[in-house]
Amino acid sequence: MDFELNEEQKILKKAAAEFGAGEFEEGKEYDRKEKFPWDVIKKAAKQGFIGVLLDEKFGGAGYTVTEKGLIIKEFAKIDPGIAQAIWSADFGAYIVQKHGGEDLKKKYLPKVTSGETVMGTAISEPDVGSDLASIRTRAVKKDGKYVIDGNKMFVTNGDVADFIIVYCRTDPDVKRGHKGLSLFIINTDDEGYQSNKLEGKLGIRASDTAEVSLSGVEVDEGKMIGEEGKGVYYVLDFLTKVNRICTAFFAVGIAEGAFEKSLDYAKEREQFGKPISEFQMIKAKLAEMKTKIDAAKLLTHRAAEESARTEGRLANLNPSIAKWYAGEVAVDVVDEALEIHGGYGYMEDYDIERFYRDAKIAEIYEGTKEIQKLMIADDILQR
């Protein structure tokens, strides 16, 4: 398989790199203050970097996940926190476009691509993470509407979005299992919606994360996305075909950024009368970092290309491989980068300190590394 970028992709990659270099200068401040970068989000939208998977009629670019991933990677090389805020500004838009009705698409999607607002998707709950079938939030049909009650945890953009997708149980007869789960769009100013911004995160502090409480939130039937009871399939499709691959690109970007900073530092930093890049142990670290990054990049591009053109086993397997390995590589590479920087790498004045904190999330969200390994093994054993 040929992973060489075409001319359009090269231009896009360069544009993303230039945008990040020019607009992410305040990354440290956003991190320190745990501030959502609204100004950067709006500029990114103006440049066409948000909602790129969406059709042009909704303000998108009609790109594949490869192009979206290239943007994410270039942003993450510069500042992972701001990169996360930008690439999750349209979190769930893919689901709306693929499964939602035309009225929902026309009403909500242009608001995201224009930078007017951001959106989120509420899946996890205080007691439910990886087990998507055990969701407790309920939507009960009453007088032509659905009344939603429940609590959601770690909701991306839950405190800043104007609307979010909520994953909940619509069939009260199904106590457990994947049946009877559905998706709704709700407005965050709806009565009964309450959000609490989660502060004190280890990393990606520029990205908004919230706990959301839903108490008697009423939504019209028309705000259901797709068919009732098919929510789990829509979510898994989104996680597999889009978000796990995007997470892999994000992780590769963090690793590349840390590697480039380490390479520059090793050439400049002198000990015992010569640059530390001339010491064998530093050379070995750089060689291992580069090899791991290239391997992760190849796995990620493979997953993206196959996901865009195939269905079935490979389209589901390869995103898990890429997500798990790239996340592990990001953590390993940033750890080595901090070692190369020595004591300076431990100080917040140097970007490596922030990259070190930001990298860990790539092993956790969109399915932990343990879940990815189980999915890979299950696929192997079922052949």
Task: Provide the residue ranges of all domains of the chain, joining segments of one domain with +.
Answer: 7-114, 119-229, 232-381
Q: Is the pLDDT assigned to residue 177 strictly greater than 70?
A: no
Q: Is the pLDDT assigned to residue 86 strictly greater than 60?
A: yes
**Per-chain mean pLDDT for the chain:** 93
- CATH node for 119-229: 2.40.110.10
pLDDT of res. 74: 98
Burial-class residue 195 by CB neighbours within 10 Å (0-12, 13-18, 19+): buried
For residue 226, the SS3 value is coil
Please tell me which residue in 74, 125, 363, 366 is annotated as part of the active site.
366
Q: Is the pLDDT assigned to residue 310 strictly greater than 80?
A: no
pLDDT of res. 309: 73
Flag the least confident range among 139-153, 171-185, 264-278, 339-353.
171-185
The reply to whether 366 belongs to the active site is yes
pLDDT of res. 176: 57
Rounded Cα–Cα distance for residues 207 and 89 (Å): 9
The per-residue pLDDT for range 259-296, each reduced to its tens digit, is: 999 999 999 998 999 999 999 999 999 999 999 999 99
Q: Is the pLDDT assigned to residue 4 strictly greater than 90?
A: no
Q: Is the pLDDT assigned to residue 174 strictly greater than 80?
A: no
Over residues 132-144, mean pLDDT = 88
Q: pLDDT class for 1, splitting at 50, 70, 90?
A: low
CATH 1.20.140.10, applies to 232-381: yes
Q: Which carries the bigger pLDDT value, residue 80 or residue 177? A: 80
Find out whether 75 and 197 touch, Cβ atoms under 8 Å. Answer: no
Rounded Cα–Cα distance for residues 327 and 336 (Å): 15
> What pairing do the DSSP bridges indicate for beta strands 163-169 and 119-122?
parallel
Q: pLDDT class for 130, splitting at 50, 70, 90?
A: confident
Q: pLDDT class for 179, splitting at 50, 70, 90?
A: confident
Q: Is the pLDDT assigned to residue 36 strictly greater than 90?
A: yes
Q: pLDDT class for 361, splitting at 50, 70, 90?
A: very high
pLDDT of res. 311: 65
Q: What's this model's pTM, rounded to 2 decimal places?
A: 0.95
Rounded Cα–Cα distance for residues 42 and 35 (Å): 15
CATH topology of domain 7-114: Butyryl-Coa Dehydrogenase, subunit A; domain 1 (1.10.540)
Over residues 309-336, mean pLDDT = 88
pLDDT of res. 383: 74
Find out whether 366 and 323 touch, Cβ atoms under 8 Å. Answer: yes
Flag the least confident range among 46-50, 151-155, 312-316.
312-316
pLDDT of res. 327: 98
| % of the chain with per-residue pLDDT over 70 | 96
